Each structure stands twice: as C-alpha cells, then as structure tokens.
Amino acid sequence: MAAVGTVASGLIPAVWPGLAPFAVGHFFPRFALGAERTSHLRPQEWVAAVLNAARPPYPVATMPGLRSRFVRDLVESFEREASGDTVGETVRRVASRLSTGDVRAALRDARHADALDVADAEELLFGLDAAVGDGTGQLLERLAAEHLGRILAQGNFAVPGDLTGTVARMQAPLEHLFVGLPIGFDVSKTREGLTLFIGASGRPRTARLLSHLTAALVRACQRYAREGMSEDVTLRIESLGDRARVTARLGAVAPLASAPLLPPQPPRRRASQPHLPTTKPTLEAVNRILTRASVAPPPADPDEIVAPRSRRPVTHRTEPHPPVPAPRSDTLPSVPRSGVVSRNDEDDEPSSSSG
C-alpha cells in the first residue's frame, strides 16, 4: 500500500495538466474549461473553479430578504391605487435609505428566486402605505390579501368550512416569501375564531410587516374557506416586541353590551339658590345703602340689654304689704300711764258709758 501511494503521489502531478480538461469536459460538459485555463491549476484550485462555474445564475442572498416578485406585485398594486406619480416620488424619496442601488430596476428585472433585502422591503412598503394610504397598514393588508388569495387558489390550499386548517396550510407559502429568515408561526382555534402568534427573532420591524401580511392571509383564507355564515372576520393585531398576536373573530362586530339598569333613585330636592335681582340697582339705591351702612347705631341702654336666660341673675322680689289703717280714738281703750291695760278696766268701761 505504501508503494501504491508513492506511485500515485508522483503520477497525479505529472498527468494532471492533461487530465483536468478531459475530466471537466467529460463529466461536466456544461462547465467545461479550456486546457489553457486549467493546465496551470492545482487540484484544490481546479475544484474551486468547478464550484464557481456551477454557481447558480441568480445571486445568493447573504442577508434576510423578501421575494422580489412579491414586492414588485405590491408596488404595482400601490401604483393602481395612487393618483399621479405618488409611487415614483415615494420611491425616489426613500431610495437614499435603501442598500439596493436602483430598486426600481432591480424589481423590474427580478427573476423567480431573487430576493430584496428585508430592510429595504420594509422601508419601501411602509413608505408607500404612508404615502398612498393612511399609514395604518390597512391598505397594505388589502393589497396583500389579493396576492395571497391568488397563491391560495393556485395551490388549492383551502379547506372548506375550516378557517384554522386553511391558515395552517398557508404557513409554508408565507415562510417561502422570506429568504434566510426563520419565521415563528403558531395558530390555535378558539371559540370565536382563531389566535395566531407570528414573529421574527430580534427583528421588531419585520414582525410588524409580518403582522400585516398575516392579517391579509387570514382574510384571504376566510374568503375561500367560508367558515360560519358570512365572510366577515374581525381582526385585532397586538405587537409584542419581535412578535405579534393576531386574533380573528368570525362574523360581524357584536354590539356593545348595554350597562345594567340601576334602580330608580328617589327625587331629591335641590337646594334653593338665592334670588338675584333681575335689574341693576340705580345710583340712588346705592347711595342709600352706603349711607345706611355708614351711620353708626346709637349706644344701647345697659338696662335694656336682655341677657340670655341661662345667664340672667336670679333676683327675689318682695311684694309690699298693704298699709294698715290707723285706729280711731273712740274705739281704742283707755291706756293708763303705765301702759298696761287691765281686764277689769275693760269690763268697767261699758257700764260707765251706759250710765
């Protein structure tokens, strides 16, 4: 074995310049290289030349991208919706912020597998939505729903009567629009409709674009699946950083629940407000009021001041005795000098008067 290896190691470099063109032309006729171009190449260089010749004709995207044809179809739809040269002016205005040199030419000459840088696609689509629409993404959703509905019809992805199943089958076509960018996609069925979580790790703006495309996808799926009694679907989009949650509810928007009726309150009597004069006071009335207020009241008599009942001093009044009439002299008994009246004198006096 050692001898065979020694012979091979000395023989291959000797016959390599003449063997390389034959090998390439025989086994790889499409990528045949001339003898003058391969005679000076070493085996490692020859392998690299074959790989370079076998490179596909379209450029390989090194950055995450969005399919150029899909972006071109959306731009053409914006042109049909816009008035005048609004789209052209918007593209020229955002061209300075794009990494692609001539984005219009790149989109016009795009082939099936070409991809536009996802950052350029976001800048272009959001700028057109703000210029042609109102910037809320509703116009972008409506235009994207038309193209996604066409993809759904051509691929026969619709599941009649099952919106959730149709959306789940459209996961692969949606992920195919993004090149080199893993997409998180999780759909679940609810009582009202479905809930879908979608996002791109570390790319909040891409998640915003994905939320609008997903809303358009749900509308297109409902148009073909026809779950429920109507095609109406109410969508609610919530941005959660680099993820988004899309909630779909089938049917028209339900009326708001009326507030419960409170028991009637008894009527309350409003406080009476002071009556304000309807006419302005005259000058004479004003002078009379000022004069009355400037005159000091006379000092009050302290005797007339009536103190409160609890503070009044307690006084006791004594009623005067009636005068006693003086006795008459003809009826009074005789009083001796000693001032003592005897009983005998009283008994003797009538006798003397009678005699």
SS3 call for 75: helix
Which of 90-94, 149-153, 177-181, 335-339 comes out lowest in average pLDDT?
335-339
- pLDDT classification of 227: cutoffs 50, 70, 90: confident
* Confidence class for position 287, pLDDT limits 50, 70, 90: confident
With b meaning 16 or more CB within 10 Å and e meaning fewer, what string describes 56-88? eeeeebeebbbbbbbbbbbbebbeeebeeeebe
Phi, psi of 334 (to 5 degrees): -75, 135
Sign, CA torsion 243/248/254/258: negative
pLDDT given at position 254:
47
Cα separation, 323 vs 55, whole angstroms: 155
The pLDDT of residue 267 is 67
* 181 pLDDT above the threshold of 50: yes
Share of residues in the chain with pLDDT > 90 (%): 33
Tokens standing for residue 336: 């001796």
d(CA 74, CA 81): 11
So where are the chain's domains? 11-53, 65-135, 140-250
Residue 127 or 257, more confident: 127
pTM, 2 dp: 0.55
Side chain identity, residue 207:
A
Reported confidence tier of residue 200, pLDDT bands at 50, 70, 90: very high
pLDDT score at 188:
94
**276: how many CB neighbours lie within 10 A of its CB?**
5
DSSP 20-44: HHHHHHHH-GGG---HHHHTT--HH
Residue 53 to residues 23, 56, 59, 112, Cα–Cα distance (Å) = 14, 8, 13, 21
For the record, the structure tokens of 154 come out as: 């051509």
Q: Each residue of 36-64: pLDDT tens digit? A: 445 555 655 655 665 565 555 544 445 78
Average pLDDT, the chain: 74
Least confident of 13-27, 139-153, 177-191, 194-208: 13-27
With a cut of 80, say whether residue 175 has pLDDT above it.
yes
Averaged pLDDT for residues 315-341? 57
